[in-house]
Structures are given as structure tokens and as C-alpha cells.
Amino acid sequence: MSINLEVLEWATATPEERSRILTRNGTLERLTHVSSLNQSIAHLVEQVRSFGDEALVRALREFDGVECAPTELKVSDREFEEARQSISDEVVDAIRVSIGRSRRFNEAILERASWSMTTDAGTTIGEVARPIESVGLFVPSGKGSYPSVLIQIGTPAVVAGVQRIAVVVPPNPTQGAGRVDAATLVVADELGLRDVYCLNGPSGVAALAFGTESVPAVRKIVGPGSPAVTIAQQQVQAMGVQVAAGLGPTDSLIIADATADPVTLAADFLNEAEHGDDSSAVVVSTDRGVLEAVAKEVESQWSELPEPRRGYARRSIAENGGLVLAANDEQALEIANDYASEHVQLAVADPVATLASIRYAGTVLLGQWTSFAASNFSLGTPATLPTTSYAKSVSGVTAHTYLNTIATAALAEDDFWAIAPAIEALATHEGFPAHLASVTTRRRIHGR
């Protein structure tokens, strides 16, 4: 089997060919039109709301093949200790490096989150940032071990100062391993998070939303997951629990010019494609020669991947993504903005100048040294990002995700009188006599 990539010329592409690229071969539509799955998840969510721990234990048995008592839903101290012993020093060091860099990035956000300014009239205005009271973090495990996800969503929550953080991790799918992914538990331990629960994905989301005898309810849920988990998140949000939106199947887009190295391009092209068969990867260039060189190199590098990653990558590239030839730089940028990718890499001669034209992206990586893998694991910038075009309205997970901002103002007396006529005019127009009186009373008291 091979990939046999062909270059799609955007200027002459049919509407169907363009739609295949922009919709990730219909991934977004598939995620939002799965009625049977919606019904089954709705039933599961309602079971958790009605029966609490009993429903959580039943879901683990039915969907994950895991037997446990309600008292065992929370990860024990012994499991934390065993996880620490089973992970190599090399991985622990990598976790610490990645947490450290994420911590620095989010501390910089926190330092700038509160601000104030004084106008020429002497009025002070600004905002103060406060952490939300509680959050639930969902870390997937269906296709493998993802400690990086907890680094990405947990570190900003800790830096923001969230008082109560609960973590839900589905059972480890690897036979013979501990019931919860060991590396993820090491991350939790490094971050000081000990309220970790081993729960089925959708029912775990419901538990965080409503609370059970063992799992506390939270104000907000953050974390990517399968379509079933995403549907559960959508359903609990409809019931009043805030959920970080747009965290679905990964997608990536590279803009490349003639200066880009095709071998490196191919490696980065495959990087996000191996996540799953619902992922998508696209390379856009105005240089046909570059795209044809990437096609040849991808074939070689792809054949070296093990299964199931090789199968995931093939579908992500050949069916959900591809190689796109743009007529000019303007069209290349138009494609990128229409696609609104989770990850955008600018493999061009002047990435800083090109950045000015990128309107929608979860993250933008400038130059070929700034790889997707660096961003995913250890760069420190957010890597849990809006997917499937949600970047047009949603941002990645950072300390901002876990903060509320409160506007503040201290109006100087002279500035009050300066805006008093405007207050009076608008209060009269909108029919609010008490609003108007708050000004006229002050005029009477102060002789103004």
C-alpha cells in the first residue's frame, strides 16, 4: 500500500475538492451529525446525573471492561507511587522540562492579566483577574498515553491559581499496565494534583458536571476527547456547565515556499497526521516543485511508521488533507485562513512578515525549526488548541482559560461632570428616570 499523493491546484479545483480540504473530508459534519451516538451519550449522562457513583461503576464495567467499587474510582496513593516507580528518569525529566516551560509562558500571561490606566482626566480604569473556583480536566487515553495533554491543560490551571482541580482519565487500554496511565499520574503528581479519577470518558464528563458521591462537581470542564466525549461535553454545557469549546481531532497546515526543505516538510506533514484517522494535515505552496518533492519524501517516511500510526497518517493526509498548489501568496494565505487550522507552520523565507496576514489559527509556528512536535510537547506555548475551524472564534488553553476578569473604575469628579450630559441624554432616551436622577441629584447637591 502507498499514499500516491497528488497536488491539488486550488485555482482549478472543483467546489467538492475544495470542500474536502476545508472540511477535513467532512470530519466536522460527522462530529455534529451522529444522532445515534447523541442518544446513547444522552442516556449515559442522565444515568450519571440520576445514580451517581453507581452509574460510573456500571459504565466502567460495560464500556471499558474494568471492575471496581465506588471507593476505588479515585486514584489511590499506592497507584501514584507505583506510577512513579514505573516511569523512566528520562521521561520524568522530560515532563519537568515541559511543565517548566509551560509554567513560564503562563506566568507571563498571569502577570499581564490585570491592568489599569489613568486617563488625562484623572479617572482610573482597568481589570483585575481572578481564578475560577474549580475545574475538571479530561485527559484522553483511548489511543495511547498522553501525559502531554495534562501538562498543557493542567499547568495553566495551577498557574492561574484555581483552588480545586479534578482530573479524569479513562482506564489505560494497554493490557498488563496499571488501570490509569502512569506517565499522566506522574504529571499530576508533579503539578500537585491528587484528585484524579479513573472513569469512563463520557460518564466522567457527566460526573464532573453534576458531581457524584465520589467526584466533586466543577465550574468548568477542559480537555480534548473522542467524539463520544465531545458530545458529552456539549450535552452538559447545554445543562449549564461551561466547557472549553473546539477541542476535537487535530489538524495542521503548513505554508511553504521555495526556501523550505522538502525532507523536513515531509516529517512535519506526517507529525500531526499520525494522531488518528480523523486528523487532517495540509501543505500549501505556490511552488509545485516543492509539493512534488514533499510527495515523494512523504512516501518514504510514511512507510517507516508502525501501525496503527501508518494507517492514521495515510487517511489524515490522503483523504482528510493533502498537498495544495496556490496561484500566489495571497491565495495561499486565503486558504490558510479559510482552513483556520489548529497548528499553522510558516516554512517560508520571512515568517514574521507572513504572520501579519494570518487571521485564524490556534498557534502559528515561525520557521522550520519551530516544529509541531516541539509545540506539542515542550515549547511551553499552548498545544491544546481549537480544531476543525474553531480557531475562527476560540483560542487555545492557557491561564486565560481559567481566569475571570473584573472591570474596575475610579471616576474623578471633574470627569464625572464631563460625561454627565451624555448619561442624562441616554437615560432620558432609554426611559430610566432613576438613572437620570442619579445625575440631577448630584447637580442639586453640588450646585452644578
- pLDDT tens, position by position, for the chain (448 residues)? 688 899 999 999 999 999 999 999 887 566 555 567 889 999 999 999 999 999 999 999 999 999 999 999 999 999 999 999 999 999 999 999 999 999 999 999 999 999 999 999 999 999 999 999 999 999 998 777 899 999 999 999 999 999 999 999 999 876 455 689 999 999 999 999 999 999 999 999 999 999 999 999 999 999 998 889 999 999 999 999 999 988 889 999 999 999 999 999 999 999 999 999 999 999 999 999 999 999 999 999 999 999 999 999 999 999 999 999 999 999 999 999 999 999 999 999 999 999 999 999 999 999 999 999 999 999 999 999 999 999 999 999 999 999 999 999 999 999 999 999 999 999 999 999 999 999 999 999 999 9
State the virtual CA torsion across 343, 253, 142, 46 in degrees, nearest 10. Answer: 70
Judge if 181 and 46 occupy the same domain.
yes
Task: Give the count of beta carbons closer than 10 Å to the beta carbon of residue 129.
Answer: 19
What span, in angstroms and rounded, lies between the C-alpha atoms of 375 and 397?
Answer: 13
In a domain, 317, yes or no: yes
Provide φ and ψ at 295, rounded to 5°: -60, -45
What span, in angstroms and rounded, lies between the C-alpha atoms of 220 and 386?
Answer: 17
DSSP letter for 391, please: G
Judge if 281 and 303 occupy the same domain.
yes
For residues 168 and 136, the answer to whether their CB atoms sit within 8 Å is: yes
CATH code: domain of residue 165: 3.40.50.1980
Residue 87 grid cell: 516511569
Judge if 58 and 186 occupy the same domain.
yes
Residue 244 grid cell: 472549553
Task: Establish whether 343 is a catalytic residue.
Answer: yes
Judge if 157 and 236 occupy the same domain.
yes
Domain boundary among 320, 349, 376: 376
Judge if 424 and 330 occupy the same domain.
no
In a domain, 386, yes or no: no
**Strands in 147-238 per DSSP E:** 164-169, 196-198, 220-222
Judge if 15 and 47 occupy the same domain.
no
Domain boundary among 195, 226, 243: 243
The alpha helices in 217-320, defined as continuous H runs, are 227-238, 262-273, 288-302, 309-314
What span, in angstroms and rounded, lies between the C-alpha atoms of 423 and 9?
Answer: 58
Judge if 197 and 265 occupy the same domain.
no
In a domain, 399, yes or no: no
Residue 150 grid cell: 495534562
In a domain, 2, yes or no: no
Range of the domain at 41: 35-243
Catalytic residue among 107, 343, 424, 435: 343
In a domain, 396, yes or no: no
Catalytic residue among 127, 342, 424, 435: 342
**Domain count of the fold of the chain:** 3
Judge if 187 and 209 occupy the same domain.
yes
What span, in angstroms and rounded, lies between the C-alpha atoms of 328 and 326?
Answer: 5
Terminal Cα-to-Cα distance of the chain (whole angstroms): 85
